[in-house]
Structures are given as C-alpha cells and as structure tokens.
Amino acid sequence: MLRDITLGQYYRTDSVIHRLDPRVKLATTFIFIISLFVVNNFVGYLLATLFLVMCIKLSNVPPKFIFRGMKTIFFLLLITMVFNLFLTPGRAIFTLWKISITYEGLFLAIKMAFRLILLISGSSIMTLTTTPNNLTDGLESLLKPLKIFHVPVHEISMMMSIALRFIPILLEETDKIMKAQMARCADFESGSLINRAKSLVPLLVPLFISAFRRALELAMAMEARCYRGGEGRTKMKPLIYQNRDRIAYAVVFGYFVLAIVVGRIIF
C-alpha cells in the first residue's frame, strides 16, 4: 500500500547507530563524503570501506537494504565507468578501431565507481538509521547559527516534517482520485504526450484542492493547539549529546585524520 512508503526508508531496529544523536550522524555523513574526495589512492579507499563496513555492522541493518538503494544508481554508475574508461587519454592497454582503454582510464573508472558506491551506501546508512523526524530535528539544530541571518530555521524544519507526514496521505489520495476518474473511463496511459498531459487535469485539480483544504484545516488545528512559531517553544525530545555521541565524534575525527594521512600523504 502507498501509505507504507516512508521517505528515506527508515529501517526499524535497535543499534548503537540508531541511538546516536542525529547531529552526529549528519556530521559524520558529511565528513565521510568529504573524505571520499580527499583521498586519491586505493589504500585510502580501503580505509573508507573498512570504516563503512564497521558502521554497517554496528547499525544492524541487513546489507541487502543498503545495496537495494544501489539499484537506482546502477545506470549512473555504468555511464560514469564507461565514460572514464574510454575517454581518458594515456597509455593504451587495448585498442579497438579508434577507441582505446588506457591505464589511467581504468584506474579512474574504478576510483569513480568506488567513490559513488561508498557515497551512496554511506548516506543510506544515515537515512536507514534515522527517522525523518529526527533528521529534521538534527538539521534544525545544526542550522541554528543561520538564525543570525534571519533564516527561519524552525519554520523550515516544521515545514519539512509536516511535508513528510503528508506525503503518504497525498500519495494515497492521488491513487484514489486516479481510480475514481478511471471509473469515469478516464485514460491516463495511452495517447500522445500532449493528450497525456491534458489527461492529468482531472487528477491534478482535485489533488490541489484537497491539498489546500488540508493545509487550511491543519493550520487551524495547529493554531487551536497554541502553535505560534518557534518562539518560547520547548521540546519533548530535545537533542542532548550523550557519551556515545562524544565517542562517535572522536572516532570520526580519528578516521578523517587517518584518511588524509594514509590516502593522500603517505602512499
């Protein structure tokens, strides 16, 4: 059913990684991605892979869930590899007609593939172990300094979490309206592109009207429950750093330093 789609694909289980503060996870993901672009040799990638495997192990998420996300980027991966493989100039290993594969190309292609795979699996660990709610909370907290520049940080994160709550509802509604119009013999599948675009009107108009109605009602319900923006608000689940969060920061920092030393300087 459509209502079971959760954005970010949270995997419900208990683990150290699940219990970490979302700010730690956001920061770690960020640092990990940077490290992928800093290192430029295979020892560095090996280190990154080890770090990632450790995180996956600690997270109790079955690896197949992490690799499921890989399916969607398979083509991107393939194209990057092909381009790098064939279009990098250098010493040729193999030449066929005018196209040749070079040592440099091979090296670059493998490196890019590594980077992409590590990048995607690294960020999916974050989304798999953090509820969307926690994620918005973490973002709000990390972006707090922007308040000085009058960025409405609280409001943005409130909007994000409301959007996350209503996406499944609106998806289900889309399904319902679509079926209702199909019961009136509407055709969403065949015809030219223009006709197909036109056929979306009976779907989109009711959907927009419904979304606006929901928004108005929700705004009223929030007001009735004393909502008045971020000012003077307390939190039911405030973000407080625990010892495990401090340890995690230390580990990540250690990894980052090691990655620079090993992946860039020594080898």
Partner 1 sequence: MIRTDKLVFEYIRRDEEGNVEGITRAVDDVNLDVKPGQFIAILGHNGSGKSTLAKHFNALLYPTEGHVFVDGMDTEDDSHLWDIRQEAGMIFQNPDNQIIGQVVEEDVGFGPENMGVPTKEIWDRVEESLKAVNMLSFRKSSPNHLSGGQKQRVSIAGVIAMHPKCIIMDEPTAMLDPNGRKDVIRAARALNDVEGITVILITHYMEEVIHADKVFVMDKGHIEMQGTPREIFSQVDRLKELRLGVPQVTLLAHELKKSGLPLPDGILTREEFVEELKKLKK
Partner 2 sequence: MSIILDHVNYIYDEDTAMAHAALIDVNLEIPKGQFIGLIGHTGSGKSTLIQHMNGLVKPTSGNVYFEGKDINDPDFNKKELRAKVGLVFQYPEHQLFETDCFKDVCFGPKNLGLPQKEVELRAYEALKQVGFDDDYFYQSPFDLSGGQKRRVAIAGVLAMKPEVLILDEPTAGLDPKGREDILNLIASLHREMGITIILVSHSMDDVADYVQRIIVMNKGRVAFDNEPKEVFKHYKELEEIGLAAPQVTYVMQELSAAGFNVDPGATTLEEAKNEILKCFGI
Is 69 near partner 2 (CB under 8 A)? no
Q: Within a 10 A sphere around the Cβ of 99, how many other Cβ atoms? A: 11
Binding-site member from 186, 239, 251, 260 for partner 2 (CB under 8 A) = 186
Q: Which is nearer to partner 2, 204 or 221 (CB)?
A: 204
Is 144 near partner 1 (CB under 8 A)? no
Q: Which is nearer to partner 2, 90 or 202 (CB)?
A: 202
Is 225 near partner 1 (CB under 8 A)? yes
Q: Least distance (Å) from partner 1 to the CB of residue 58?
A: 23
Which amino acid, one-letter code, is at 196?
A: R
What one-character DSSP code corresponds to residue 265?
Answer: I
Per-residue contact track with partner 2, 204 to 223, x per CB under 8 A? Answer: -xx--xx-------------
**For residue 220, what is the enclosing H or E element?**
helix 201-224
The position carrying tokens 């790098």 is 84
Q: Least distance (Å) from partner 2 to the CB of residue 214?
A: 11
Is 235 near partner 1 (CB under 8 A)? yes
Per partner kind, with CB cut-offs from 5 to 8 A, the member of partner 1, partner 2, none near residue 171 is none
Q: Which stretch binds partner 1 (CB under 8 A): 75-83, 118-126, 127-135, 245-253?
A: 127-135
Per partner kind, with CB cut-offs from 5 to 8 A, the member of partner 1, partner 2, none near residue 223 is partner 1
Question: Can you tell me the distance from the alpha carbon of 259 to that of 233, in angstroms, rounded to the nearest whole number?
Answer: 41
Which amino acid, one-letter code, is at 173?
A: E
CB 120 within 8 Å of CB 9 = no
Binding-site member from 36, 48, 177, 248 for partner 2 (CB under 8 A) = 177
CA atoms in the 13 A half-sphere facing the CB of 66: 21
Question: Can you tell me the distance from the alpha carbon of 140 to that of 20, in angstroms, rounded to the nearest whole number?
Answer: 16
CB 29 within 8 Å of CB 123 = yes
Per partner kind, with CB cut-offs from 5 to 8 A, the member of partner 1, partner 2, none near residue 201 is partner 2
Judged by CB under 8 A, the chain residues 169 through 188 that form the site for partner 1 are 169
Contacts of 141 (CB under 8 A, 6+ apart): 23, 239
Q: Strand, coil or helix: what is 239?
A: coil
Q: Which is nearer to partner 2, 200 or 262 (CB)?
A: 200
Q: Distance from first CA to last CA of the chain, Å, rounded? A: 52
Is 169 near partner 2 (CB under 8 A)? no
The site that binds partner 2 (CB under 8 A) totals a number of residues, namely 19
* Residue 99, phi then psi, degrees to nearest 5: -100, 135
Is 239 near partner 1 (CB under 8 A)? no
Q: Strand, coil or helix: what is 46?
A: helix
Contact footprint for partner 2 (CB under 8 A) = 1, 4, 176-177, 179-187, 201-202, 205-206, 209-210
